[in-house]
Amino acid sequence: MARRQKVCIITPDIIGPIKNGGIGTHCFYLAKFLAQEMQQDVTVVFTGPFEIGSVDSWRKYYLSEFSIQFISEAELSPLFYGHGHGGKWFILRSQKVYHWLKDQDFDVCYFQEWHANGFISIQAKRTGLALHHTKLVCMAHSSSQWIREGMQLFPTQQADDLILDYAERYCMEFADYALSPSQAMFDWARNSGWVIAEQNAVIPYLFEHSINSVRANFAGNHLIFFGRLETRKGLEVFLKALQRLAPELRASARTLRVSFLGKNGTTQYGEGNRTIETLLADYTDVYRHEIFNQLAQAEALKFLTDHASALVVTPSLVDNLPFAVLECLELGINIIAANTGGIPEMFADHARLFTPTVKSLTVKLRECLFTGLPPLQKRFSIENSRQLWRDFCEQVAVDTPKISTGSALNQSSEQPLVSICIPHYNCGQYLPDALASLKKQTYKNFEVIVVDDGSTEQKSLEAFDRLTEHYCDSGWLFLKKENGGPGSARNLAVSKSGGQYIVFLDSDNAAEPDMLAKMVHCMQTSKLDCLSCYYRIFDEYLPPSANLYKFACFMTGPCLEASIYDNVLGDTNFIVKASVFSELGGFKERSDVNHEDRELLANLVVQGYSMDVIPAFLFRYRLRAEGFNRITSSYSNQMVGISPLLETLPWWSRRFLVNAIGTLLNPTLLNQLHAQQVAALPVAVSSPSQQVGTKELRAKLKGARAELTKTKSELSLTQDQLIQAQNRINAMETSKFWLLRKGWFKLKKRLNLPVNE
């Protein structure tokens, strides 16, 4: 007897906790179909908010009604407890999903592209880290970029929107299978620069209903707007079309009932509810309107069948394969719809369709109200959709996993040589920790080249010499050179290396024991040119072994547009093919600025080489007050990091980009400066002698800027000192001496001996 397939549906929306929504409706029908018709063991991981009920109530419902396991994201543990740089809400959510999934044994996992729940899981599989035997499926429903375009809005969350868009695109490109309910969505994605996974298919949504279909002629006195009350769904178009029709209806002494059936959303006028009241305020003698925001999916369908003689209007500006239209077609509801997105794929002709403009909808409504509703010729078929899903599930069950190398690290007999290159400058007290971490590596075929970049501290020079002697039997190479900056030291180390792969480690950091094993395994599995990784940051006063972290850094990957504002590519501690490093010409050699690592990674991507991120903590980063990154110009460092991107642009684009960087990186600073400028201006000017001179105003502004920079620097230093002090206290209080001391005082108290702490 064949083993039952174990599948998991991870979704931010599903019927039950969420009253109604396209993604939720699709996931609900899919879960039931897989459990009941395909006889699969189904688990739903819900990552959205609970509008109704609780985890326990919906767990009982899904288990008792459909034998489906139900889990909430809140029950999943995070990848890292504490603050994480680069940990956007959608990244952290995706990490929690992955952190849980990697320890399960699902055959297939289904994700939606919206909110990128599958990003880290797909990234882990692509890089060969985990989920080797699990098929990952991503379905195009309504990406954030697509929604914004439909809402006619520009991005508002600065770099966050860029990273979310990248994560959603990534899921559709690197999932094992990409699905879409309509060809139109795939066409939109490709026209918007997306790459769709090689294994892709158009499979319309599943649908079932317990309500009997109805057939009733349009009575001509009731219109129903069916959809979320927002711009994307064409609410303003519908309301303005009603305004245009009002004079004709008045002239014929005709009144209409107008129902709005959908969640409250936003429009260019504000809230959807308020938009309706505003735009229909002058037409109460023609339209009697009512709004239904709170109906769940089943209640909404009952409302439609209870008013079968009404006409449903869905004037979406953009749409995929909307359930609002699908449900009306299957229930026999009178409907006219916009000819956008995948809607035309549901109709056999265009008699019931219109262009979503005020003029076109007015013409169509006039035709329906005064002439009659055109006959319906539908193309969508429930049974055809079910058969396509059956075929897909059966095909996925027999397909060989996309990555079939297995989960064990170093399982291959091939153990390529890895060259670890370490630049050293006045870090004698930290270098021993870095080298000791390399001796603990589980992967053994590596060489180490350490280059002292003209250290000036006597203790560091002495430490370097001691370590040279200590590791002489290991065959590790220790070199000295004049100071030229970390890029220069790394390049020299690479020139003396012989490995197939190059790994860089800074002398004040420490590698995790499995760093090389995972890096090599992931490079061999993914066949990529370069991989960076996550890392945890600890205080300079603590040893790496203390396991006390200030925060973690989560790299995203080669999202170049976001890399302009923040380092999403990786730290220096990355692995790269030696041949690729050579072709790139190595690091740019400078002694007065940092971010040469960010510059090289950006150049690698710009030049067309492939890279990604291993979503695992592979090294520990020591945060030092005197670290090179903190004592060099942040402006110069930033410009170095993005220079490969700027060099590819015409001058007007470079100027705009630099302006945009300042606007997005320093919103608080700009607001403060603006307030200071306003405060410096006179309240009233009655004569030229009372006006503040331009030079004087500039001088005040310059002074304010300098004072603000100084204050900001002092605040940052104070915060660092507080954190360092807290870490020292934490380390002290967890030490054996402190525990013995506390135990001694407790014993003295019990014996009634004098205690002097």
Determine contact, residues 77/99, Cβ cutoff 8 Å.
yes
Its domain, for residue 480, covers: 418-646
- Residue 690 pLDDT: 34
408 within a domain of the structure (yes/no): no
CA–chain centroid gap for 250, Å, is 52
* Residues ≥6 apart with Cβ < 8 Å to 172: 113, 138, 140, 178, 189, 194, 195, 196, 197
Q: Which residue has the tokens 């279909």?
A: 213
Count of H helices and E strands in the chain? 26, 25
Lookup: tokens for 228: 């979320």
Statement to judge: residues 196 and 229 lie in one domain:
no
pLDDT at 542: 86
Q: Are strands 551-553 and 530-539 parallel, antiparallel or unpaired?
A: antiparallel
- Residue 484: exposure state from Cβ atoms within 10 A (0-12, 13-18, ≥19): middle
The residue among 364, 379, 394 that closes a domain is: 379
Sorted by sequence, the CB contacts under 8 Å of residue 553 that are 6+ apart come out as: 84, 85, 86, 534, 535, 536, 537, 571, 621
Tokens of 331: 């229930």
- Domain assignment present for 711: no
The pLDDT score that the predictor gives to residue 324 is 92
**Is residue 77 located within the same domain as residue 158?**
yes
Q: Two tokens at 96?
A: 């929690």
- Residue 300 shares a structural domain with residue 430: no
**Domain co-membership, 164 together with 280:** no
Same-domain pairing of 184 and 236: no
Helix (H, G, I), strand (E, B) or coil at 304: helix
Q: Looking at residue 609, which CATH number applies to its domain?
A: 3.90.550.10
Specify if 628 maps to a domain: yes
β-strand partners of 312 = 224, 335
Asked if 95 and 25 sit in the same domain, the reply is: yes
- The residues of the chain scoring below 50 in pLDDT are 404-406, 668-670, 672-694, 716
Are both 605 and 498 inside the same structural domain?
yes
**Residues 160, 298 within the same domain:** no
Q: Are residues 346 and 442 in the same domain?
A: no
pTM for the structure as a whole = 0.83
Specify if 640 maps to a domain: yes
Contacts within 8 Å (CB) and 24+ apart, 235-238: 235/265, 235/267, 235/272, 235/275, 235/276, 236/267, 236/268, 236/269, 236/275, 236/279, 237/315, 237/317, 237/356, 237/357, 237/358, 237/361, 238/313, 238/315, 238/361
Q: Is residue 653 part of a domain?
A: no
| Same-domain status, 545 and 584 | yes
- Measured CA to CA, the distance from residue 433 to residue 436 in angstroms comes to 5
What is the Cα–Cα distance from 641 to 595, expressed in whole angstroms? 5
Residue 682 in any domain: the answer is no
CATH number of the domain to which 244 belongs? 3.40.50.2000
155 and 284 together in one domain: no
CA dihedral 181→182→183→186, nearest 10 degrees, is -60
The reply to whether 754 falls in a domain is no
Residue 571 has a CB neighbour count (10 Å cut-off) of 20
Residue 669 lies in a domain: no
For residue 166, give the nearest of 466, 555, 574, 531 by alpha carbon. Answer: 555
The answer to whether residues 350 and 426 belong to one domain is no
Number of domains in the chain: 3
